[in-house]
Amino acid sequence: MRKRINYLAVCLFILSVLLLDGCEEAELSRAQNSHGFCIENEDKDLYNSKVNSNTSDVNKTDTENNENVENSSSALNSSFSEGVLEDAQTSDKTITLGFAGDINFDENWATTKYMDAQKNGIYDCISADAIRMMNDFDIFMINNEFTYSDRGMPLNGKAYTFRAKPKRVENMKILGADIVLMANNHVWDYGQTAFLDTLDVLNNAGIPYVGAGHNIEEASSPYYFYRDGFKIAYVAASKAEKFKMTPQATNNKPGILRCYDENLFLEEIRLARKNADYVVASVHWGTEYDNNADNAQRQLAGKIIEAGADVIIGTHPHVLQGVEYIDGKPVFYSLGNFWFNNKDLYTCLIELSLNLNTENKKVVLDKWKFIPCHQQNLKTTIAYGSESKTIISFMNKISFNVKINEDGFGVLLLE
């Protein structure tokens, strides 16, 4: 009998070793995201990142004091998160990064009302080929420009305030979101209570966010995806408000990362550059409904590239803005609304194809593609044929030193 017990114990031990074999350290905590990535937490001395927090059990109001915030942030651990793709079997490997602009699930907004009236919900609002493409990206990011909550009050003096029921986060999963942009001017529309609820909803849904947090350390921390020893970093900040109603996080208060003073954001980019092989920087900036990137955007873009970003993804203007290469790195000044309101607007998806070479330990942007889309009649669809050519032609007119060919691929023009 003792032999049988010992034999069982040995088998259990071997099984536990096998289960841990795929991790770099036995203490890694793992969870699956919508694309099958493994979210890993490690290297506790390096970063503070996105983890589950249980703030929803605390009865908060918009006059919450610092003790409320401390209770909310107590669930944060001191490690950064990584999403891990399955390893490929060759020395040259390609992964795709996908991006979309603004999306809005506000309960009283035209888009959501239309969605609720449709038989198939979000599937009747965004075309099937677009949804399939977003799910096919290895890493897909979209701008979460609203708050998830049943609580809070709209900010006094703010013209547009957006709040969605927490259940709406299921739409993000349908769209294949692997990470959402939270550094924008609508995540605080219903105050601190709703903002903290939003972080909880995303954490509980297993959707990482960047550019916001329970404190400034979290809000200014890069988020990392990992594969074959390579790290891809995401950073984000906002400078979108004339009247600054969305607060920057502090040491003991929640909020976003702002970049009116860009020093902290540039410091985060340098940190990401030091610890990652490819750095994606997102900025909420520019003038609403202006297709032309302004000088302030272009000047800040130069500083962001100099600090170490490999690509810049812009949001906020609600319309498309052009593309520019700075020191060989593409800058997409604005992706426009993806599915945001009832206006008739051109929009897009962006696909970056990255080559991971394990022999020379480099990550290189192999190519990028502009996928023209059209938001109209409360639906967003991929554009084809003459409509696609029209949108691409328009993009070429407002871009700087870039030409997008009829297939959507961008090339740097000789200067």
Q: Is residue 381 part of a domain?
A: yes
Residue partners of 331: CB distance under 8 A and separation at least 6: 301, 305, 311, 312, 314, 323, 324, 325
Q: For tokens 């702002």, name the residue.
A: 258
The pLDDT value given to residue 91: 56
Tens-place pLDDT, residues 320-373? 999 999 999 999 999 999 999 999 999 999 999 999 988 888 999 999 999 999
Q: Are 139 and 225 in contact (CB under 8 A)?
A: yes
Residue partners of 159: CB distance under 8 A and separation at least 6: none
Tens-place pLDDT, residues 98-110? 999 999 999 999 9
Mean pLDDT of the chain: 84
Domain count, the chain: 1
Q: Is residue 212 part of a domain?
A: yes
Quick one: tokens of 373? 């889309």
Q: CA-CA distance, 347 to 414, in Å (whole number)? A: 27
Question: Which residue range forms the structural domain that includes residue 267?
Answer: 37-412
Q: Is residue 31 part of a domain?
A: no
Cα dist from 167 to 45, 107, 198, 291, 375, whole Å: 35, 11, 11, 34, 24
Q: Is residue 68 part of a domain?
A: yes
DSSP E strand boundaries for 139-262: 139-144, 147-148, 163-164, 179-181, 209-210, 212-213, 223-227, 230-238, 255-256
The DSSP symbol for 413 reads P
Q: Is residue 72 part of a domain?
A: yes
The pLDDT value given to residue 20: 40
* Confidence (pTM): 0.82
> Apex CA 289: angle with CA 287 and CA 295, to 5°?
35
Residue partners of 273: CB distance under 8 A and separation at least 6: 233, 279, 307, 308, 309
Q: Is residue 188 part of a domain?
A: yes
Q: CA-CA distance, 215 to 257, in Å (whole number)? A: 10
pLDDT band at 415 (very low <50, low <70, confident <90, very high): low
Read off the CATH number of the domain in which 363 is found.
3.60.21.10
Q: Is residue 44 part of a domain?
A: yes
Q: Is residue 32 part of a domain?
A: no
Q: How many CB atoms lie within 10 A of CB 65?
A: 11
